[in-house]
Amino acid sequence: MNRIIFSLFILTVCTIKNEFSINDWAYYRGDNSVSHFKPFDLINKDNVHKLTKVWEYKSSDHDLENRSQIQCNPLIIDGVLFGTSAKMKLFALNASNGSLIWEFDPYDGMFSSHGTGVNRGLNYFRHSSGDRILYATYSKLYAVNPSNGKLIQSFGENGIVDLKEGLGRNVDSLLLAANTPGVIFKNLLILGHRASESTGAVPGHIRAFNVFSGKIEWIFHTIPYPGEYGYDTWPEDAYLRSGGANAWAGLSLDEKNQIVYVPTGSAAFDYYGGDRKGKNLFANSIIALNANNGKRIWHYQTIHHDIWDRDLPAAPNLVTITKDNKNIDALAQITKSGYLFVFDRKTGEPIYPIKEKKVPKSSLIGEFSWPTQPVPTIYPSFSRINLSDDDYPIRSKEAREYAKRVWESSKYEEFLPLSLSETILFPGLDGGGEWGGAAYNPNSGIIFINSNEMPWSLKMNKKVGLTLGKTVYNSGCMICHGEDLKGNLGVYSNIPSLVNIKDRMTNKSLEEIILNGKGIMPSFSNLSNDEINAIINYLIDPETENSTYEKMNSWPYPYVFGGFKKHYAPDGYPAIKPPWGQLTAIDLNKASILWQIPLGQHDDLKKLGLIETGTENYGGPLVTSGGILIIAATMDEKIRAFDQNTGELLWEDKLPAAGYATPSTYIIDDKQYIVIACGGGKLNTKSGSSYVAYSIN
């Protein structure tokens, strides 16, 4: 079928059909309840070992220095796959063979001068007047015709909405990126966004955009305005200056009850809250909103006055639980800390008690840490949540002694506030649970969660005596490039070293990257000219940066972030006893773990007899009625199938690059497919540009 005929076919189908086929994967993560589930059984426990690769699509636009990623969970509708590439291009493929139908480049070939982050998925709006795909890159929201890849000119301004507009203050120079798609309710696209985690962050307000015009129909202030609920949990002027409390991880939607569920992250600055005394609603909260108008129905805050970057990392799963012989429409929320919070989704009442645990007080001047934090009592944690001597690595004397030395020289206690000393955070900043989210089988009542088991170290430094360049570096650059400028220490791996950057780049080139961003690095155009000059001087020669900048130091806090690091032993592997990544099945009806296994394997260690290490992982699982769970996510670049009932490994295959994404599944002509984006680029793994589809021939 040629492209013209194919496009006419799609257009015809879209104008006469208002519902998606059960064979489609029409929503990010499977459906609006975030189940990651499809009632398919053509691929099942008995035949999954016969899975073979049936096609591979390569966009060939990945970064050759291994710093690009693809995290997209693609949509498949009426035989067409819609996904995004390493350079954020939107494309349509014939989902039965992987051939390209069309491609839309939002940057029109100008990607190298933009910092874009990643795209994790799309929204598809079906309507009798014509369908549209709504997707975002960085701070722009696009409406694209799914039949030809062209912008729909009636949406926003010539098909584009600027997401920096309509937040109640001027944020033109600040970071805003809509990494994760929102949800569509009636004719509304309800959307959150990513914000900076440092000073000068945009507020995380939730907005509903008209899918036809792009106009904002309602807004919910996650940093409340005067007179709004929660306003008294912040300083009086916080609504004018504070940022964060944003829903970067996506949303869930109960269409029947017309409720949208919003999981939010921490307020900025992440690690010191002296300027935001109080609980800080609605940061770190699950918020239930009326999807029609954005009015609050209920909320629950999982971290009070967050100073650990304990964002809620994924949208909650909407589930049904049987308790005391009654069915309860519930909500299950995974967390970075490894806890599972479960609530009645209509009322917000916990299914089982949640206690307020007394926690240590901050030692930092001006910091008013909250005296208690909520901890679930009945539902089990899905990862280790505490460290002890039993967690020292046992693979070698060198690894054990290294971990022992680091742990004994650091402070550790659950919910211990940061200080001027190294403080261990466990699980680390990437979980426990992370943005891949959990899968839920509504037929069995089992939720499946992949997790990370990595200790990180964090610390604060006094601001006194720092030059402006060092201060700017500490506040905006150290989180990725590290205290020693060597890179590979931040939330994203494969971050380049800045050591001796003067030998590789001119001052002008550095200025262009700071202003425009590059790859996953965002723009820092909010910096003043003096701050830009100071950071360039610092990078060119950190030892002799002009000290006259010291008095111009504009960082508004008495402390600067002293950096963090993952705990790797000298052999390059985690300085903790395995598993380093886990996959856990929890029976929500019984509130108990059904099974728990290591997820992933390091081949070099396997040769030495260490066969159940697990690996750090990013991306989520997929479950079906065939009794199987499919997941990639691991840094060993494999995709695997497990038995949902036992955790037994049933099948695995090597991918062209790591699949740090969530798989999709769909059926065409009575043939079931499973597809995964293979972008790699994290955890020191190579970048890729492939989508790979599997089926049984």
Domains and CATH numbers, the chain: 3-335+350-384+628-695 (2.140.10.10), 464-554 (1.10.760.10)
Residues forming a β-bridge with 330: 319, 344
Looking at residue 419, the DSSP 8-state letter turns out to be -
Q: What is the pLDDT of residues 583-617, one digit of tens each?
A: 999 999 999 999 999 999 999 998 888 888 999 99
Q: In residues, how long is the chain?
A: 697
At residue 503, the pLDDT reads 87
CA angle 347, 351, 352 (to 5 degrees): 135
For 223, 224, 301, 321, 352, the CA distances from 232, given in Å and listed in that order, are 10, 9, 15, 35, 28
d(CA 574, CA 371): 32
Q: Tokens 């360049």, residue? A: 469
d(CA 629, CA 439): 9
At residue 190, the pLDDT reads 99
At residue 484, the pLDDT reads 80
At residue 474, the pLDDT reads 77
Q: What is the pLDDT of residues 299-316, one digit of tens each?
A: 999 999 999 999 999 999
d(CA 361, CA 49): 54
> Angle, to 10 degrees, between the axis of helix 468-476 and the axis of helix 529-540?
90
* Structure tokens belonging to residue 238: 């916080």
Residue 432: asked if its preceding bond is cis (omega within 30°), the reply is yes
Helix (H, G, I), strand (E, B), or coil: what is residue 503? helix
Looking at residue 644, the DSSP 8-state letter turns out to be T
Candidates 272, 297, 268; CA nearest to 284 is 268
At residue 359, the pLDDT reads 98
* Structure tokens belonging to residue 29: 């993560």
* Structure tokens belonging to residue 199: 């000073």
Helix (H, G, I), strand (E, B), or coil: what is residue 78? coil
d(CA 279, CA 306): 8
* Structure tokens belonging to residue 538: 């610092």
424 residue type, one letter:
I
Q: Where are the beta strands (DSSP E) in 335-481?
A: 340-344, 354-358, 372-376, 423-425, 439-441, 446-452, 456-462
d(CA 281, CA 223): 7
Cβ–Cβ < 8 Å for 369, 307 = yes
Strand 267-268 versus strand 243-244 pairing type: antiparallel
Residue 375 CA, distance from chain mean position: 23
* Residue ranges of the chain whose pLDDT lies below 50: 1-17, 112-115, 489-492, 547-552
List Cβ neighbours of 337 (8 Å cut-off, separation of 6 or more). Answer: 310, 385, 427, 432
Candidates 204, 309, 316; CA nearest to 266 is 309
Candidates 164, 153, 237; CA nearest to 205 is 164
Cβ–Cβ < 8 Å for 284, 266 = yes
- SS3 annotation, 251-307: CEEECCCCEEEEECCCEECCCCCCCCCCCCCCCCEEEEEECCCCCEEEEEECCCCCC
Candidates 144, 16, 150; CA nearest to 78 is 16
Looking at residue 173, the DSSP 8-state letter turns out to be T
Beta-carbon-side half-sphere exposure of residue 64 (alpha carbons within 13 Å): 2
Class of residue 61 by CB neighbours under 10 A (exposed 0-12, middle 13-18, buried 19+): middle
Residue 351 CA, distance from chain mean position: 26
